[in-house]
A and B are shown apart, each in its own frame.
Chain A
């Protein structure tokens, strides 16, 4: 029974990991840029949701949409004025830009919000559903449901809508896309905005069970990269599989080992997977 409980907890946490990591893989897939600042957009999303809760009385699950919208706009601007300029630059320049962005965002947040830990209080925060001997934490379930919702939305967008197909075309072959009349720059802006917006959305939905502070991104950045590389860099479905896998591995390791070794177990599995499948679970061999 402890095993089923651990898997259940892992799946719910993993769903959230998937959504915060999809953005990273999307940006890489469409633009070939590794955004080291991705986790800072998650932090921004958490802060927006916190302020929406504190000032407007919005539940973080509703504030998540606001967080998505605002960070999406910020993403458009960042892509247009900063990232676009290094698209053709050497990789080192791209790394410096996104790492620089990470440092700027983190310290700007410290300046603006101070280093306090902030937490929301919602009625469902301490509720759990009981399925026989199993406990389903309501805030985890809500975060998982919202994550699944946004994942489905993204799936629909990429599969069905014209914009989504144009975006995938841009990812596959920017030149051919341009020749077919697709505004490649616009697609990249959109991809970057969507990518960071989704991370912000993920940040907002986990706020009911976490606290937000300017350096919270550092708790997630390594996790996000693990999820994305495990699933296959650039693959959206891979990020979902990777996210669920990371959540379940972490949760299961807690059954056997002390919680301090959680990430040790995770990385042992991670290295083993990469040794066998260097392209990740769902990645295309290059």
Chain B
């Protein structure tokens, strides 16, 4: 009924519409001009910027922002008519469903050419389901083996897989100990019992079995643990010669502190995450010195590049910032080479190219090359050791910047 009434009435311009139309007319030239000059490429960045992993997300964003600014300052992407890199950053929180929703929105609304993210493997896996369906390239530094083991065509992993990292954590330790004249016979594994801790502990366990080393303590603990004393009491009684704790920050600080309280000075070899960030040092002070950890990459492989980061943000370039920087650099190199930013040609170039120069120089092998599954075949995990304010690469020897110190 009311519809009919409206239809009968002659069309009339009310005041609100008039203002809108006038406003539009005034703004139109500016909008059009902006659209022309803005030959920009939208690149999606999805990271945990709130929630338990926010710190790692912020570090990653800093790394990506740095590279984007460097590229834009140098004149943008030349083969695309000097197009600017326009980052579309979104918070994945810490829930996979939210990460997937954000990815969906970026693809439909922001028309992103590719997506970078999302630090935590569980988030990356959720995003990859969306990007694979929509054929959008996803570049990541998450560790999980599953990422490149599902036969996906549009996912690219710039770091080594979790199982490789876990094995390297063990093998590197064994090699360093041997060099110092210690034969490791008994070790302990402590891990936080979410996906990251359990999967990496699995890699450690396997490597230990292979090397014939006995695991005398093998305990998971809840992530929000408030009293690690019972764990350390067990550790002290176990006769372990080294301990492999796989933890985020809160638990890593507690474990090292209580170990030191009880006078346990045998080496602790962390599993990246909580052990290779500046807060680990600020939380432990001098007790951080000499702590070893595995890391998928380290700033000291090319200080000339990573110094730009520490100058801008005031702390050393943590590995997640660095690997995300590499993701963006590789993506831009691919666009430069393709001369297009459509997903199909990007995917083709990403699969078939050995990327050199730029930020890839920080990675082991000094380059990035993806295999058919999207895994960077040149990436190798590094052993790092805290020296003063930064972790320094100590193993494998050809990448080492300082000799490892082993205090048995």
Contact = CB atoms under 8 A, between A and B. Distances in A.
Interface string A193-210: 000000000000000011
A135 interface: yes
A115 B260 CA distance: 27
B249 A121 contact: no
B257 A211 contact: no
Given A126-B287, A137-B261, A251 B222 contact: no
Nearest to B193: A260
Interface in A250-280: 250-251, 254-255, 258-260, 262
Q: How many of chain A's residues touch chain B, expressed as a range?
A: 35 or more
Contacts of A13: 227, 229
A150 interface: no
Given A121-B285, A260-B220, 7 more contacts: A110-B50, A119-B283, A137-B261, A210-B250, A210-B254, A251-B229, A254-B234
A263 B355 CA distance: 52
Top 5 nearest A-B pairs by Cβ distance?
A254-B230, A126-B260, A128-B261, A119-B283, A115-B54
B226 A219 contact: yes
B253 A127 contact: no
Contacts of B101: none
Contacts of B221: 259-260
Of A110, A125, A218, the most chain B CB neighbours within 10 A belong to: A125
18 contacts: A9-B227, A9-B230, A13-B227, A114-B50, A116-B279, A117-B55, A119-B253, A121-B283, A121-B284, A127-B261, A135-B262, A137-B229, A137-B261, A209-B254, A210-B250, A210-B254, A211-B253, A250-B227
Contacts of A127: 261
A241 interface: no
Contacts of B254: 209-211
B250 A211 contact: yes
Nearest to B220: A260
Contacts of B230: 6, 9, 250-251, 254-255, 259, 262
A220 interface: yes
Nearest to B226: A219
Of B193, B221, B258, B263, the most chain A CB neighbours within 10 A belong to: B258
Interface of A: 2, 5-6, 9, 13, 110, 114-117, 119, 121, 125-128, 130, 135, 137-140, 209-211, 213, 218-220, 250-251, 254-255, 258-260, 262
A253 B309 CA distance: 47
B21 interface: no
A137 B250 contact: no
Of B55, B253, B282, the most chain A CB neighbours within 10 A belong to: B253
Nearest to B225: A259
Contacts of B237: 2
Contact of A116 (B54, B226, B287): B54
Contacts of B250: 117, 119, 210-211, 213
Interface in B359-389: none
Contact of A115 (B52, B220, B233): B52
Given A116-B54, A126-B260, A209-B254, A9 B285 contact: no
A121 B233 contact: no
Contacts of A116: 54-55, 279
Contacts of B285: 121
B249 A254 contact: no
Contacts of A5: 233
Contacts of B226: 210, 219-220
A5 B222 CA distance: 22
A209 B257 contact: yes
Contact of B257 (A110, A117, A126): A126
Contacts of B257: 125-126, 139, 209
Given A254-B233, A259-B219, A259-B230, A137 B55 contact: no
Contacts of A220: 226
Nearest to A257: B230
Contacts of A210: 226, 250, 254
A250 B220 CA distance: 16
Contacts of A259: 219, 221-222, 225, 230-231
A258 B52 CA distance: 25
Contacts of B54: 114-116
